[in-house]
A and B are shown apart, each in its own frame.
Chain A
Amino acid sequence: MKQYLINTWQAIYTVLVGMKITFKHLFVPSVTIQYPDVKQPMVDRVRNRLFVNMDDCIGCDQCARACPVNCIEIETVKSVPPEDLGKTSQGKKKALWVTKFDIDIAKCCYCSLCVYPCPTDCIYMTDSYEFSEFERNDLIYKFATLTPEETEEKKANFEKFQAEKEAKKAAAAAAKAKAAAESKPDDKKE
Protein backbone atom coordinates (compact mmCIF):
# COMPACT_ATOMS: atom_id res chain seq x y z
CA MET A 1 0.00 0.00 0.00
CA LYS A 2 2.80 2.35 0.89
CA GLN A 3 4.61 1.49 -2.33
CA TYR A 4 1.38 2.11 -4.21
CA LEU A 5 1.05 5.63 -2.85
CA ILE A 6 4.74 6.31 -3.47
CA ASN A 7 4.32 5.16 -7.07
CA THR A 8 1.36 7.45 -7.57
CA TRP A 9 3.17 10.40 -6.10
CA GLN A 10 6.28 9.73 -8.17
CA ALA A 11 4.26 9.42 -11.36
CA ILE A 12 2.65 12.81 -10.85
CA TYR A 13 5.82 14.43 -9.57
CA THR A 14 8.05 13.22 -12.40
CA VAL A 15 5.53 14.28 -15.02
CA LEU A 16 5.55 17.75 -13.50
CA VAL A 17 9.36 17.81 -13.52
CA GLY A 18 9.33 16.88 -17.21
CA MET A 19 6.74 19.51 -17.97
CA LYS A 20 8.84 22.10 -16.20
CA ILE A 21 11.83 21.23 -18.38
CA THR A 22 9.91 21.44 -21.65
CA PHE A 23 8.30 24.67 -20.50
CA LYS A 24 11.70 26.19 -19.92
CA HIS A 25 12.74 25.17 -23.40
CA LEU A 26 9.81 27.06 -24.85
CA PHE A 27 11.80 30.21 -24.16
CA VAL A 28 15.24 29.01 -25.13
CA PRO A 29 16.19 30.67 -28.41
CA SER A 30 16.13 28.21 -31.24
CA VAL A 31 19.31 26.78 -32.67
CA THR A 32 17.94 26.48 -36.19
CA ILE A 33 19.93 28.17 -38.92
CA GLN A 34 17.58 29.25 -41.70
CA TYR A 35 19.92 27.75 -44.25
CA PRO A 36 19.51 29.33 -47.66
CA ASP A 37 18.89 32.71 -46.05
CA VAL A 38 21.46 32.44 -43.30
CA LYS A 39 24.68 30.55 -43.86
CA GLN A 40 27.18 29.37 -41.40
CA PRO A 41 30.60 30.87 -42.07
CA MET A 42 33.01 28.29 -43.43
CA VAL A 43 36.42 27.71 -41.91
CA ASP A 44 39.43 29.17 -43.71
CA ARG A 45 40.83 26.02 -45.21
CA VAL A 46 37.64 24.57 -46.70
CA ARG A 47 37.97 22.76 -49.99
CA ASN A 48 34.95 23.28 -52.18
CA ARG A 49 34.61 24.66 -55.64
CA LEU A 50 37.84 25.33 -57.52
CA PHE A 51 38.47 28.70 -59.04
CA VAL A 52 41.14 29.79 -61.50
CA ASN A 53 42.14 33.38 -61.77
CA MET A 54 42.87 33.44 -65.49
CA ASP A 55 44.58 36.83 -65.31
CA ASP A 56 47.42 35.17 -63.48
CA CYS A 57 47.53 31.80 -65.19
CA ILE A 58 50.62 31.28 -67.29
CA GLY A 59 49.37 28.02 -68.77
CA CYS A 60 52.19 25.96 -67.37
CA ASP A 61 50.05 22.81 -67.08
CA GLN A 62 51.48 21.98 -63.65
CA CYS A 63 48.05 21.73 -62.06
CA ALA A 64 46.74 19.36 -64.71
CA ARG A 65 49.71 17.10 -64.21
CA ALA A 66 49.30 17.09 -60.45
CA CYS A 67 45.65 16.12 -60.57
CA PRO A 68 45.18 12.48 -59.59
CA VAL A 69 41.92 12.08 -61.48
CA ASN A 70 42.85 14.08 -64.57
CA CYS A 71 39.95 16.41 -64.34
CA ILE A 72 41.81 19.48 -65.54
CA GLU A 73 42.34 19.88 -69.26
CA ILE A 74 44.58 22.62 -70.53
CA GLU A 75 45.48 23.56 -74.05
CA THR A 76 47.81 26.41 -74.87
CA VAL A 77 49.04 28.21 -77.90
CA LYS A 78 52.31 30.10 -77.99
CA SER A 79 52.07 33.81 -78.49
CA VAL A 80 53.69 35.37 -81.49
CA PRO A 81 56.21 38.23 -81.12
CA PRO A 82 54.17 41.39 -81.57
CA GLU A 83 51.50 40.13 -79.12
CA ASP A 84 52.05 41.09 -75.51
CA LEU A 85 50.17 39.05 -72.89
CA GLY A 86 51.26 41.26 -70.05
CA LYS A 87 52.47 40.05 -66.73
CA THR A 88 50.93 38.19 -63.83
CA SER A 89 50.31 40.02 -60.62
CA GLN A 90 53.54 38.53 -59.32
CA GLY A 91 55.53 39.88 -62.21
CA LYS A 92 55.96 36.71 -64.25
CA LYS A 93 55.81 37.16 -67.96
CA LYS A 94 53.02 35.32 -69.73
CA ALA A 95 53.97 33.68 -72.96
CA LEU A 96 51.12 31.27 -73.74
CA TRP A 97 47.58 31.82 -74.78
CA VAL A 98 45.45 29.50 -72.69
CA THR A 99 42.88 28.37 -75.22
CA LYS A 100 41.26 25.74 -73.07
CA PHE A 101 41.11 25.41 -69.31
CA ASP A 102 38.35 22.99 -68.33
CA ILE A 103 37.88 21.59 -64.86
CA ASP A 104 35.40 18.75 -64.62
CA ILE A 105 34.27 19.43 -61.07
CA ALA A 106 32.12 16.29 -61.14
CA LYS A 107 35.30 14.24 -61.21
CA CYS A 108 37.17 16.40 -58.76
CA CYS A 109 37.86 14.78 -55.42
CA TYR A 110 38.74 18.05 -53.69
CA CYS A 111 42.20 16.85 -52.83
CA SER A 112 43.65 20.27 -53.44
CA LEU A 113 46.76 18.75 -55.06
CA CYS A 114 46.43 21.07 -58.03
CA VAL A 115 46.63 24.10 -55.78
CA TYR A 116 50.14 23.57 -54.42
CA PRO A 117 52.24 23.36 -57.57
CA CYS A 118 50.81 26.45 -59.24
CA PRO A 119 53.71 28.89 -59.61
CA THR A 120 51.44 31.92 -59.61
CA ASP A 121 48.93 30.81 -56.97
CA CYS A 122 46.08 31.38 -59.36
CA ILE A 123 44.16 28.12 -58.88
CA TYR A 124 42.56 27.86 -55.49
CA MET A 125 39.64 26.54 -53.48
CA THR A 126 36.70 28.82 -52.67
CA ASP A 127 34.06 28.45 -50.00
CA SER A 128 31.13 28.14 -52.38
CA TYR A 129 29.54 24.73 -52.04
CA GLU A 130 26.18 25.12 -53.77
CA PHE A 131 26.81 24.19 -57.37
CA SER A 132 24.42 21.39 -58.20
CA GLU A 133 23.28 21.22 -61.79
CA PHE A 134 20.69 19.36 -63.80
CA GLU A 135 23.12 18.31 -66.51
CA ARG A 136 26.40 16.64 -65.79
CA ASN A 137 27.99 18.59 -68.61
CA ASP A 138 27.22 21.81 -66.80
CA LEU A 139 29.67 20.73 -64.14
CA ILE A 140 32.58 21.17 -66.54
CA TYR A 141 33.77 24.63 -65.73
CA LYS A 142 35.40 26.47 -68.58
CA PHE A 143 37.81 29.06 -67.34
CA ALA A 144 39.49 29.99 -70.62
CA THR A 145 38.76 33.62 -71.35
CA LEU A 146 39.28 33.51 -75.09
CA THR A 147 36.28 33.15 -77.37
CA PRO A 148 36.35 30.31 -79.93
CA GLU A 149 37.01 32.83 -82.70
CA GLU A 150 39.91 34.30 -80.81
CA THR A 151 41.19 30.82 -80.20
CA GLU A 152 41.04 30.09 -83.91
CA GLU A 153 42.73 33.37 -84.60
CA LYS A 154 45.53 32.69 -82.15
CA LYS A 155 46.00 29.23 -83.54
CA ALA A 156 46.05 30.59 -87.07
CA ASN A 157 48.43 33.34 -86.01
CA PHE A 158 50.73 30.82 -84.43
CA GLU A 159 50.56 28.52 -87.42
CA LYS A 160 51.22 31.42 -89.76
CA PHE A 161 54.06 32.52 -87.56
CA GLN A 162 55.33 29.01 -87.46
CA ALA A 163 54.95 28.66 -91.21
CA GLU A 164 56.68 31.99 -91.73
CA LYS A 165 59.42 30.87 -89.42
CA GLU A 166 59.70 27.62 -91.29
CA ALA A 167 59.69 29.51 -94.54
CA LYS A 168 62.31 31.89 -93.21
CA LYS A 169 64.31 28.98 -91.95
CA ALA A 170 63.92 27.21 -95.20
CA ALA A 171 64.76 30.38 -97.03
CA ALA A 172 67.73 30.94 -94.77
CA ALA A 173 68.79 27.35 -95.23
CA ALA A 174 68.30 27.67 -98.96
CA ALA A 175 70.21 30.92 -98.96
CA LYS A 176 72.95 29.34 -96.94
CA ALA A 177 73.00 26.38 -99.23
CA LYS A 178 73.03 28.68 -102.22
CA ALA A 179 75.73 30.78 -100.70
CA ALA A 180 77.69 27.68 -99.97
CA ALA A 181 77.08 26.42 -103.45
CA GLU A 182 78.05 29.78 -104.89
CA SER A 183 81.14 30.04 -102.80
CA LYS A 184 82.35 26.66 -103.82
CA PRO A 185 82.62 27.35 -107.47
CA ASP A 186 84.28 30.59 -106.47
CA ASP A 187 86.75 28.54 -104.58
CA LYS A 188 87.20 26.47 -107.62
CA LYS A 189 87.67 29.51 -109.72
CA GLU A 190 90.32 30.88 -107.57
Chain B
Amino acid sequence: MYEILTDIIGNQIVAYVIAAALPLFVFILPFALVAVLAERKVSAFMQDRLGPMRTGPYGLLQTVADILKLIQKEDIVASDTDKKLFNLAPILVFAGSYAAFAAIPFTSAYIGSSADVGIFFIIAISSLVVAGILMAGWASNNKYSLLGSMRSVAQIISYEIPAALVILTMVMLTGTLSLSEMTEMQTQYFWNWNIFGGAETGIVKILLIPFMLVGFIIFYISSLAEVNRTPFDIPEAESELVAGYHTEYSGMKFAMFFLAEYANMFAVSAIVVALFFGGYHSPFGYLGNAIGIDWLIPVEQLFWFTVKGTFFVIVQMWLRWTLPRLRVDQLMNVCWKYLIPYAFVNLIIVGILTLL
Protein backbone atom coordinates (compact mmCIF):
# COMPACT_ATOMS: atom_id res chain seq x y z
CA MET B 1 0.00 0.00 0.00
CA TYR B 2 2.76 2.33 1.02
CA GLU B 3 4.64 1.67 -2.23
CA ILE B 4 1.55 2.34 -4.32
CA LEU B 5 0.95 5.61 -2.51
CA THR B 6 4.57 6.63 -3.00
CA ASP B 7 4.16 6.00 -6.69
CA ILE B 8 1.00 8.08 -6.90
CA ILE B 9 2.06 11.01 -4.76
CA GLY B 10 5.80 10.94 -5.34
CA ASN B 11 6.62 12.13 -1.84
CA GLN B 12 7.53 9.47 0.66
CA ILE B 13 6.64 11.41 3.78
CA VAL B 14 3.18 12.37 2.54
CA ALA B 15 2.60 8.80 1.40
CA TYR B 16 3.68 7.59 4.80
CA VAL B 17 1.29 9.89 6.65
CA ILE B 18 -1.59 8.95 4.37
CA ALA B 19 -0.90 5.25 4.67
CA ALA B 20 -0.78 5.59 8.44
CA ALA B 21 -4.01 7.58 8.69
CA LEU B 22 -5.93 5.52 6.17
CA PRO B 23 -7.32 2.79 8.43
CA LEU B 24 -8.28 5.39 11.01
CA PHE B 25 -10.46 7.47 8.73
CA VAL B 26 -11.60 4.80 6.33
CA PHE B 27 -12.25 2.14 8.86
CA ILE B 28 -12.02 2.79 12.57
CA LEU B 29 -14.02 6.02 12.82
CA PRO B 30 -16.94 4.81 10.69
CA PHE B 31 -16.78 1.49 12.46
CA ALA B 32 -16.93 3.14 15.88
CA LEU B 33 -19.87 5.26 14.77
CA VAL B 34 -21.79 2.23 13.61
CA ALA B 35 -20.69 0.00 16.47
CA VAL B 36 -21.74 2.40 19.20
CA LEU B 37 -25.16 2.71 17.63
CA ALA B 38 -25.34 -1.06 17.11
CA GLU B 39 -24.38 -1.63 20.71
CA ARG B 40 -27.18 0.58 21.94
CA LYS B 41 -29.69 -0.92 19.55
CA VAL B 42 -28.68 -4.50 20.30
CA SER B 43 -28.87 -3.89 24.03
CA ALA B 44 -32.24 -2.22 23.59
CA PHE B 45 -33.69 -5.03 21.53
CA MET B 46 -32.40 -7.64 23.94
CA GLN B 47 -34.16 -5.82 26.76
CA ASP B 48 -37.35 -5.34 24.72
CA ARG B 49 -36.73 -1.62 24.35
CA LEU B 50 -36.33 0.51 21.26
CA GLY B 51 -33.07 2.30 22.00
CA PRO B 52 -32.33 5.73 20.55
CA MET B 53 -35.23 6.79 18.33
CA ARG B 54 -35.19 10.58 18.23
CA THR B 55 -32.08 11.67 16.34
CA GLY B 56 -32.67 11.00 12.70
CA PRO B 57 -34.85 8.19 11.38
CA TYR B 58 -34.85 5.36 13.94
CA GLY B 59 -32.15 7.22 15.84
CA LEU B 60 -29.55 6.49 13.19
CA LEU B 61 -27.75 9.79 13.73
CA GLN B 62 -27.45 9.32 17.48
CA THR B 63 -23.72 8.64 17.52
CA VAL B 64 -23.04 11.56 15.19
CA ALA B 65 -24.85 13.79 17.63
CA ASP B 66 -22.93 12.25 20.52
CA ILE B 67 -19.61 12.88 18.84
CA LEU B 68 -20.54 16.48 18.13
CA LYS B 69 -21.50 16.85 21.77
CA LEU B 70 -18.23 15.32 22.96
CA ILE B 71 -16.21 17.66 20.77
CA GLN B 72 -17.91 20.68 22.27
CA LYS B 73 -17.40 19.57 25.86
CA GLU B 74 -15.03 21.40 28.13
CA ASP B 75 -11.76 19.59 28.60
CA ILE B 76 -11.59 19.40 32.38
CA VAL B 77 -8.29 18.66 34.07
CA ALA B 78 -8.76 18.47 37.82
CA SER B 79 -6.23 20.51 39.82
CA ASP B 80 -4.59 17.63 41.68
CA THR B 81 -3.94 15.43 38.69
CA ASP B 82 -0.51 14.69 37.36
CA LYS B 83 -0.98 16.81 34.25
CA LYS B 84 1.65 15.29 32.00
CA LEU B 85 0.64 11.69 32.55
CA PHE B 86 -3.02 12.62 32.57
CA ASN B 87 -2.78 14.13 29.11
CA LEU B 88 -0.52 11.43 27.75
CA ALA B 89 -2.63 8.47 28.87
CA PRO B 90 -5.52 8.66 26.38
CA ILE B 91 -3.08 9.14 23.52
CA LEU B 92 -1.10 6.11 24.59
CA VAL B 93 -4.20 3.96 24.95
CA PHE B 94 -5.44 4.97 21.55
CA ALA B 95 -2.03 4.60 19.95
CA GLY B 96 -1.73 1.11 21.40
CA SER B 97 -5.02 -0.08 20.02
CA TYR B 98 -4.52 1.71 16.72
CA ALA B 99 -1.07 0.30 16.19
CA ALA B 100 -2.52 -3.20 16.31
CA PHE B 101 -4.31 -2.42 13.05
CA ALA B 102 -0.97 -2.09 11.28
CA ALA B 103 -0.50 -5.85 11.18
CA ILE B 104 -4.08 -6.84 10.41
CA PRO B 105 -4.63 -7.91 6.82
CA PHE B 106 -7.85 -6.30 5.65
CA THR B 107 -7.54 -7.63 2.10
CA SER B 108 -4.80 -9.21 0.11
CA ALA B 109 -4.12 -5.75 -1.37
CA TYR B 110 -3.94 -3.79 1.86
CA ILE B 111 -1.95 -4.49 4.98
CA GLY B 112 -0.41 -1.67 6.96
CA SER B 113 2.85 -3.41 7.62
CA SER B 114 3.84 -6.64 5.94
CA ALA B 115 6.31 -7.40 8.72
CA ASP B 116 6.78 -11.13 9.19
CA VAL B 117 6.21 -10.93 12.92
CA GLY B 118 2.58 -9.69 12.55
CA ILE B 119 0.82 -11.41 15.42
CA PHE B 120 3.81 -11.05 17.69
CA PHE B 121 3.87 -7.33 16.97
CA ILE B 122 0.18 -7.09 17.88
CA ILE B 123 0.69 -8.81 21.24
CA ALA B 124 3.65 -6.58 22.00
CA ILE B 125 2.17 -3.28 20.93
CA SER B 126 -1.14 -3.81 22.67
CA SER B 127 0.79 -3.78 25.95
CA LEU B 128 0.97 -0.03 25.43
CA VAL B 129 -2.69 -0.01 26.30
CA VAL B 130 -1.86 -1.47 29.71
CA ALA B 131 0.66 1.28 30.35
CA GLY B 132 -1.81 3.91 29.20
CA ILE B 133 -4.56 2.61 31.45
CA LEU B 134 -2.30 2.45 34.47
CA MET B 135 -1.14 5.98 33.69
CA ALA B 136 -4.69 7.24 33.42
CA GLY B 137 -5.65 5.70 36.74
CA TRP B 138 -2.57 6.88 38.56
CA ALA B 139 -2.55 10.41 37.15
CA SER B 140 -6.23 10.97 37.89
CA ASN B 141 -5.49 11.05 41.62
CA ASN B 142 -8.82 9.42 42.26
CA LYS B 143 -9.21 6.20 44.20
CA TYR B 144 -11.84 4.81 41.87
CA SER B 145 -9.67 5.44 38.86
CA LEU B 146 -6.69 3.85 40.51
CA LEU B 147 -8.68 0.79 41.60
CA GLY B 148 -10.09 0.47 38.11
CA SER B 149 -6.77 0.72 36.41
CA MET B 150 -5.12 -1.73 38.82
CA ARG B 151 -7.87 -4.23 38.13
CA SER B 152 -7.56 -3.60 34.43
CA VAL B 153 -3.83 -4.15 34.39
CA ALA B 154 -4.07 -7.31 36.49
CA GLN B 155 -6.76 -8.59 34.20
CA ILE B 156 -5.08 -7.79 30.91
CA ILE B 157 -1.75 -9.23 31.98
CA SER B 158 -3.36 -12.42 33.28
CA TYR B 159 -5.45 -12.99 30.22
CA GLU B 160 -2.57 -12.35 27.89
CA ILE B 161 -1.18 -15.72 28.94
CA PRO B 162 -3.99 -17.97 27.67
CA ALA B 163 -4.32 -15.74 24.60
CA ALA B 164 -0.63 -16.02 23.86
CA LEU B 165 -0.74 -19.79 24.41
CA VAL B 166 -3.52 -20.15 21.86
CA ILE B 167 -1.70 -17.91 19.43
CA LEU B 168 1.36 -20.10 19.98
CA THR B 169 -0.74 -23.13 19.13
CA MET B 170 -1.84 -21.52 15.90
CA VAL B 171 1.67 -20.41 15.06
CA MET B 172 2.83 -23.97 15.60
CA LEU B 173 0.12 -25.29 13.34
CA THR B 174 0.70 -22.85 10.51
CA GLY B 175 4.40 -22.30 10.94
CA THR B 176 4.26 -18.54 10.47
CA LEU B 177 3.84 -15.42 12.59
CA SER B 178 2.49 -13.30 9.78
CA LEU B 179 -1.29 -12.94 9.79
CA SER B 180 -1.47 -12.48 6.04
CA GLU B 181 0.45 -15.70 5.43
CA MET B 182 -1.80 -17.48 7.89
CA THR B 183 -4.78 -16.14 5.98
CA GLU B 184 -3.37 -17.26 2.66
CA MET B 185 -3.11 -20.81 4.02
CA GLN B 186 -6.85 -20.86 4.69
CA THR B 187 -7.76 -19.96 1.16
CA GLN B 188 -10.71 -21.03 -0.99
CA TYR B 189 -13.57 -22.73 0.82
CA PHE B 190 -14.58 -22.60 4.43
CA TRP B 191 -13.50 -26.17 5.21
CA ASN B 192 -9.96 -24.90 4.81
CA TRP B 193 -10.37 -22.50 7.73
CA ASN B 194 -8.26 -23.25 10.76
CA ILE B 195 -11.31 -23.82 12.90
CA PHE B 196 -12.05 -26.79 10.62
CA GLY B 197 -8.50 -28.08 10.88
CA GLY B 198 -6.81 -25.91 8.29
CA ALA B 199 -5.95 -26.70 4.72
CA GLU B 200 -4.67 -30.17 5.51
CA THR B 201 -6.38 -33.32 4.43
CA GLY B 202 -6.87 -36.72 5.98
CA ILE B 203 -7.40 -37.95 9.50
CA VAL B 204 -5.33 -35.20 11.16
CA LYS B 205 -7.74 -32.55 9.93
CA ILE B 206 -10.68 -34.33 11.54
CA LEU B 207 -8.73 -34.87 14.75
CA LEU B 208 -7.75 -31.20 14.91
CA ILE B 209 -11.27 -29.81 14.79
CA PRO B 210 -12.22 -30.22 18.50
CA PHE B 211 -8.90 -28.78 19.61
CA MET B 212 -9.26 -25.82 17.30
CA LEU B 213 -12.68 -25.24 18.78
CA VAL B 214 -11.25 -25.28 22.30
CA GLY B 215 -8.50 -22.92 21.19
CA PHE B 216 -11.04 -20.58 19.66
CA ILE B 217 -13.17 -20.50 22.81
CA ILE B 218 -10.17 -19.84 25.04
CA PHE B 219 -8.90 -17.12 22.77
CA TYR B 220 -12.27 -15.48 22.45
CA ILE B 221 -12.80 -15.43 26.21
CA SER B 222 -9.38 -13.98 26.87
CA SER B 223 -9.78 -11.41 24.13
CA LEU B 224 -12.99 -10.30 25.79
CA ALA B 225 -11.06 -9.83 29.00
CA GLU B 226 -8.29 -7.95 27.23
CA VAL B 227 -10.66 -5.36 25.83
CA ASN B 228 -12.46 -5.00 29.17
CA ARG B 229 -15.83 -6.06 27.88
CA THR B 230 -18.55 -7.57 30.03
CA PRO B 231 -18.45 -10.10 31.70
CA PHE B 232 -14.88 -8.93 32.28
CA ASP B 233 -15.63 -5.23 32.66
CA ILE B 234 -14.61 -5.01 36.30
CA PRO B 235 -12.10 -2.22 35.51
CA GLU B 236 -15.00 0.00 34.50
CA ALA B 237 -17.65 -1.52 36.74
CA GLU B 238 -20.09 1.39 36.75
CA SER B 239 -21.89 0.13 39.81
CA GLU B 240 -18.73 -0.12 41.89
CA LEU B 241 -16.16 2.28 40.49
CA VAL B 242 -18.13 5.09 38.82
CA ALA B 243 -16.35 4.54 35.50
CA GLY B 244 -12.99 3.10 36.45
CA TYR B 245 -9.87 4.60 34.96
CA HIS B 246 -11.66 7.17 32.79
CA THR B 247 -13.76 8.66 35.57
CA GLU B 248 -11.85 11.94 35.52
CA TYR B 249 -11.75 12.37 31.76
CA SER B 250 -14.09 14.51 29.74
CA GLY B 251 -14.55 15.75 26.22
CA MET B 252 -12.15 14.61 23.56
CA LYS B 253 -9.90 12.69 25.94
CA PHE B 254 -12.82 10.60 27.04
CA ALA B 255 -13.77 10.17 23.39
CA MET B 256 -10.29 8.79 22.74
CA PHE B 257 -10.72 6.12 25.39
CA PHE B 258 -14.07 5.34 23.90
CA LEU B 259 -12.70 5.13 20.39
CA ALA B 260 -9.84 2.98 21.61
CA GLU B 261 -12.30 0.59 23.22
CA TYR B 262 -14.23 0.14 20.01
CA ALA B 263 -11.08 -0.05 17.90
CA ASN B 264 -9.87 -2.75 20.26
CA MET B 265 -13.10 -4.65 19.96
CA PHE B 266 -12.67 -4.83 16.23
CA ALA B 267 -8.95 -5.55 16.48
CA VAL B 268 -9.45 -8.65 18.62
CA SER B 269 -12.32 -9.80 16.44
CA ALA B 270 -10.09 -9.34 13.41
CA ILE B 271 -7.40 -11.46 15.04
CA VAL B 272 -9.94 -14.15 15.81
CA VAL B 273 -11.05 -14.05 12.19
CA ALA B 274 -7.51 -14.18 10.84
CA LEU B 275 -6.45 -16.99 13.17
CA PHE B 276 -9.48 -19.27 12.95
CA PHE B 277 -11.98 -18.13 10.36
CA GLY B 278 -10.05 -17.73 7.17
CA GLY B 279 -9.19 -14.05 7.49
CA TYR B 280 -10.37 -12.11 4.49
CA HIS B 281 -11.17 -15.18 2.44
CA SER B 282 -14.66 -15.74 1.20
CA PRO B 283 -16.26 -18.96 2.41
CA PHE B 284 -17.57 -19.87 -1.06
CA GLY B 285 -15.00 -18.73 -3.59
CA TYR B 286 -14.97 -15.38 -5.37
CA LEU B 287 -17.31 -13.72 -7.78
CA GLY B 288 -14.30 -11.91 -9.25
CA ASN B 289 -12.72 -15.27 -10.17
CA ALA B 290 -15.94 -16.55 -11.64
CA ILE B 291 -16.50 -13.60 -13.95
CA GLY B 292 -12.84 -12.84 -14.46
CA ILE B 293 -12.52 -9.34 -12.98
CA ASP B 294 -9.32 -9.19 -11.00
CA TRP B 295 -9.83 -5.99 -9.07
CA LEU B 296 -13.12 -7.27 -7.66
CA ILE B 297 -11.34 -9.86 -5.53
CA PRO B 298 -9.75 -7.46 -2.98
CA VAL B 299 -13.05 -5.63 -2.65
CA GLU B 300 -14.84 -8.88 -1.95
CA GLN B 301 -12.13 -9.78 0.51
CA LEU B 302 -12.59 -6.49 2.35
CA PHE B 303 -16.31 -7.18 2.45
CA TRP B 304 -15.86 -10.67 3.90
CA PHE B 305 -13.32 -9.47 6.41
CA THR B 306 -15.64 -6.73 7.62
CA VAL B 307 -18.59 -9.08 7.78
CA LYS B 308 -16.72 -11.68 9.78
CA GLY B 309 -15.13 -9.11 12.07
CA THR B 310 -18.43 -7.38 12.67
CA PHE B 311 -20.07 -10.70 13.42
CA PHE B 312 -17.63 -11.31 16.26
CA VAL B 313 -18.09 -7.76 17.52
CA ILE B 314 -21.83 -8.40 17.61
CA VAL B 315 -21.21 -11.61 19.53
CA GLN B 316 -19.22 -9.55 22.02
CA MET B 317 -22.19 -7.24 22.44
CA TRP B 318 -24.51 -10.22 22.70
CA LEU B 319 -22.38 -11.63 25.52
CA ARG B 320 -22.23 -8.25 27.18
CA TRP B 321 -25.99 -8.01 27.46
CA THR B 322 -26.32 -11.63 28.51
CA LEU B 323 -23.80 -12.12 31.27
CA PRO B 324 -23.38 -10.33 34.57
CA ARG B 325 -20.00 -9.05 35.68
CA LEU B 326 -17.53 -11.42 37.33
CA ARG B 327 -16.00 -10.80 40.73
CA VAL B 328 -12.25 -10.22 40.88
CA ASP B 329 -11.52 -13.61 42.44
CA GLN B 330 -13.77 -15.35 39.92
CA LEU B 331 -11.96 -13.52 37.16
CA MET B 332 -8.59 -14.80 38.32
CA ASN B 333 -10.06 -18.25 38.89
CA VAL B 334 -11.28 -18.49 35.32
CA CYS B 335 -7.95 -17.41 33.95
CA TRP B 336 -5.42 -19.28 36.06
CA LYS B 337 -7.38 -22.37 37.01
CA TYR B 338 -9.29 -23.02 33.83
CA LEU B 339 -8.12 -21.20 30.73
CA ILE B 340 -4.38 -21.61 31.18
CA PRO B 341 -4.39 -25.37 31.91
CA TYR B 342 -6.74 -25.98 29.02
CA ALA B 343 -4.63 -23.84 26.74
CA PHE B 344 -1.51 -25.79 27.74
CA VAL B 345 -3.10 -29.16 27.17
CA ASN B 346 -4.43 -27.90 23.89
CA LEU B 347 -0.99 -26.68 22.90
CA ILE B 348 0.60 -30.06 23.61
CA ILE B 349 -2.08 -32.07 21.83
CA VAL B 350 -2.05 -29.86 18.76
CA GLY B 351 1.74 -30.08 18.81
CA ILE B 352 1.59 -33.87 18.74
CA LEU B 353 -1.08 -33.82 16.03
CA THR B 354 0.96 -31.56 13.79
CA LEU B 355 3.88 -33.98 14.10
CA LEU B 356 1.72 -36.83 12.81
Contact = CB atoms under 8 A, between A and B. Distances in A.
Q: Do A and B bind each other?
A: yes
Interface of A: 7-8, 11-12, 15, 18-19, 21-23, 25-26, 28-32, 34
Contacts of A30: 44-45, 48-50
A19 B50 contact: no
Interface in B304-354: 318-319, 321-323, 334, 338, 342
A152 B117 CA distance: 95
Nearest to B321: A22
Nearest to B53: A34
A12 B321 CA distance: 16
Given A22-B322, A34-B53, 6 more contacts: A7-B338, A15-B323, A21-B322, A25-B45, A25-B46, A28-B48
A31 B51 CA distance: 11
Contacts, number: 41
What interface size band does chain B fall in?
10 to 19
Contact of A19 (B45, B217, B322): B322
A11 B48 CA distance: 26
B47 interface: yes
A20 B307 CA distance: 22
A24 to B, nearest CB: 9
Given A8-B338, A12-B217, A31 B321 contact: no
Contacts of B46: 22, 25-26
A32 B322 contact: no
Nearest to A25: B46
Contact of B47 (A7, A25, A34): A25
Interface of A is mostly: helix
A10 to B, nearest CB: 12
A15 B48 CA distance: 20
20 contacts: A7-B338, A8-B342, A11-B334, A11-B338, A15-B319, A15-B323, A19-B318, A19-B319, A22-B322, A23-B318, A25-B47, A25-B48, A26-B42, A26-B45, A30-B44, A30-B45, A30-B49, A31-B49, A32-B48, A34-B53
B231 to A, nearest CB: 9
A23 B342 CA distance: 28
Interface of B: 42, 44-50, 53, 217, 318-319, 321-323, 334, 338, 342
A18 B338 CA distance: 20
Contacts of A18: 322-323
A23 B338 CA distance: 27
A86 B48 CA distance: 57
Given A8-B338, A22-B321, A23-B318, A32 B50 contact: yes
Contacts of B334: 11
Contact of B49 (A11, A15, A23, A32): A32
Contacts of A25: 45-48
A28 B45 CA distance: 8
A190 B46 CA distance: 114
Nearest to B337: A4
A30 B318 CA distance: 17
Nearest to A23: B318
Contacts of A34: 50, 53
A1 B338 CA distance: 12
Q: List the 3 closest A-B pairs by CB distance, nearest first.
A: A32-B50, A18-B322, A22-B322
A19 B322 CA distance: 6
B325 to A, nearest CB: 13
Contacts of B322: 15, 18-19, 21-22
The CB with the most chain B CB atoms within 10 A, among A11, A30, A31, A34, is that of A30
A161 B84 CA distance: 88
A41 B49 CA distance: 20
A29 B319 CA distance: 21
